[in-house]
Homo-oligomer: A and B are copies of this chain.
Amino acid sequence: MKVKLLLLSFITILCNFNLNSQSDEDVLKTIYTVSLTNGQSYNWLDYLSNEIGGRLSGSKNAELAVQYTKAELEKLGLDQVWLQPVMVPKWERGEKEMAYFEVSGIANQVNICALGGSIATTEDGISASVIEVKNFEELAALGKNKIKGKIVFYNRAMQADLISTFNAYGGCVDQRYAGALEAGKYGAVGVIVRSMNLRQDDYPHTGSMSYGELTLEQRIPSAAISTNDADVLSKALKQNENLLFYFKQSCKQFDDVQSYNVIGEITGNEFPNEYIVVGGHLDSWDLGDGAHDDGAGVVQSMDVLRLLKESGIKPKRSIRVVLFMNEENGLRGATEYAKVAKEKNENHIFALESDSGGFTPRGFSFAANDTNFNQVLGWKALFKPYLIHYFEKGGSGADVGPLKSETNVLAGLRPDSQRYFDHHHASNDTFEHVNKRELELGAATMTALVFLFDKYGVNPVPKSTKIKN
């Protein structure tokens, strides 16, 4: 171990002396080596996941996560570490939900969980017959007469033949987010949604939902059911369309509470007023410990600043790590950060988010104009030794999104997506499903891109040029 530390000190010293003369290839090699042999992300994630756990906005755990990450950032010798206040919603699940359906007087228990933001059932729960639909068009076609007084069961499965599981998620998540809003209009008494999961298993997956402009009377309790139980229920309905479904949940919305974004900065030594942000969201859902969503993005982002320092890189521009609060059910942290940045007229040239799990990184998607995107494509070959190959235009991340300008670049880390929705928002989003090397490769890949944007900047586009996004 001592030899390892000596070696690392030696590497660091060497880097400090020679970084300016080092090729980009050599700098990337150093970054990946330091992350894989002396990364900190996995240890931080262990603490966040196993010592703190699920970190829903407004919870005690979210507060502990703020304190912990701030204290850890302070140990890194950054130029500034601070908390940015933001008010966040507070919703609590309450007692564990229960649900069953009855056929011939026999109760078949099924696995459900309340969706985030849902109201509770009455204390005795709800019992009603069920109407299964695949989408809002089917719902509208059925109309008020057939829906009133019933539980609407949305059972459209994620599309398995899409290679990106995020596309499959995007094609289904309206059921979860707006299912109660739509069904409530027709007088339904509750909503059960097939979990956003490509795998057949017993885990119900929570996630945000909204009642939109529904009146209080129109709001109905909404829960997710596991994929296995969705199939069981669907099959039972085919045999007995009048079966009764019972569920009970005691979740509750409270007043907003004070919380914080956690921010650390290395101030640039040449262009301190140009900002680069790297971040993830500190809050998570409450069922698991939020290791993939988004503990991974948090610890990777923290390690980006540390890896820059450990690799002997002295940034020209100001590099900030931002741990956003309340991505899951409000985006209040992201909104606040962007608002303050605008008020202060801070020039954010590049912002990178990791919020797609801690799996093997495959590349990035970019929101950028053509000039800047072409610059990025010029860097692609540097990443080949690390099997980073995906450089495409597309979305970035929910938290960095509000920072978009005409000339800056936003990006999202794109890890392998195949396993992500096995765990997303469910009680099995836990530390043991994160692989240390995969996490560290992600941190290194992010650091490498931050290094390149810091070194080369972005290309301001003349105002007369038409931007093609």
CA distance A441 to B33 in the complex (A): 30
A61-69, A273-281, A414-422 - the one binding chain B: A414-422
The answer to whether B385 and A437 have CB atoms under 8 Å apart is: no
Shortest Cβ distance from residue A305 to the other chain B in the assembled complex, whole angstroms: 21
CA distance A416 to B45 in the complex (A): 22
Q: Which residues of B contact A362 (CB under 8 A)?
A: 387
Determine how many copies of this chain the complex contains.
Answer: 2
Whether a CB of chain B sits under 8 angstroms from the CB of A161 is: yes
The answer to whether A385 and B435 have CB atoms under 8 Å apart is: no
- Contacts A418-B435, A418-B441 given; does A161 touch B390 at CB 8 Å: no
Whether a CB of chain B sits under 8 angstroms from the CB of A128 is: no
Q: Which residues of B contact A32 (CB under 8 A)?
A: 161, 163
- Contacts A387-B390, A418-B435, A438-B419 given; does A160 touch B36 at CB 8 Å: yes
- Residues of A within 8 Å of B, CB-based: how many? 26
CA distance A144 to B441 in the complex (A): 43
Q: Which residues of B contact A386 (CB under 8 A)?
A: 163
Contact among B389, B418, B436 for A389, CB-based, below 8 A: B389
CA distance A389 to B391 in the complex (A): 12
Which of A417-469 touch B at CB < 8 Å? 418-419, 422, 435-438, 441
Shortest Cβ distance from residue A430 to the other chain B in the assembled complex, whole angstroms: 14
CA distance A387 to B391 in the complex (A): 11
The answer to whether A385 and B422 have CB atoms under 8 Å apart is: no
The digit string for A387-410, where 1 denotes a CB below 8 A from any CB of B, is 101100000000000000000000
Whether a CB of chain B sits under 8 angstroms from the CB of A261 is: no
Q: Which residues of B contact A161 (CB under 8 A)?
A: 32-33, 36-37
CA distance A33 to B162 in the complex (A): 8
CA distance A438 to B418 in the complex (A): 7
CA distance A438 to B419 in the complex (A): 8
Chain B residue with the shortest CB-CB distance to A422: B435
- Contacts A362-B387, A387-B362, A390-B387 given; does A437 touch B160 at CB 8 Å: yes
Whether a CB of chain B sits under 8 angstroms from the CB of A199 is: yes
Contact among B198, B387, B441 for A437, CB-based, below 8 A: B198
Q: Which residues of B contact A438 (CB under 8 A)?
A: 418-419
The digit string for A225-247, where 1 denotes a CB below 8 A from any CB of B, is 00000000000000000000000
Q: Which residues of B contact A163 (CB under 8 A)?
A: 32, 385-387, 441
Residues of A within 8 A of B (CB): 32-33, 36-37, 160-161, 163, 165, 198-199, 360, 362, 385-387, 389-390, 416, 418-419, 422, 435-438, 441
Can you spell out 10 A-B residue pairs with CB atoms less than 8 angstroms apart?
A37-B161, A163-B386, A163-B387, A165-B437, A199-B436, A360-B418, A387-B389, A387-B390, A416-B416, A419-B435
Closest 8 CB pairs of A and B: A389-B389, A33-B161, A36-B161, A418-B437, A36-B160, A418-B438, A360-B416, A37-B160
A-B contact sample (20 more), CB < 8 A, given A387-B390, A418-B437:
A32-B161, A32-B163, A37-B160, A163-B385, A163-B386, A163-B387, A165-B437, A198-B437, A199-B436, A360-B360, A360-B416, A360-B418, A362-B387, A389-B389, A389-B390, A416-B416, A418-B435, A418-B438, A418-B441, A419-B435
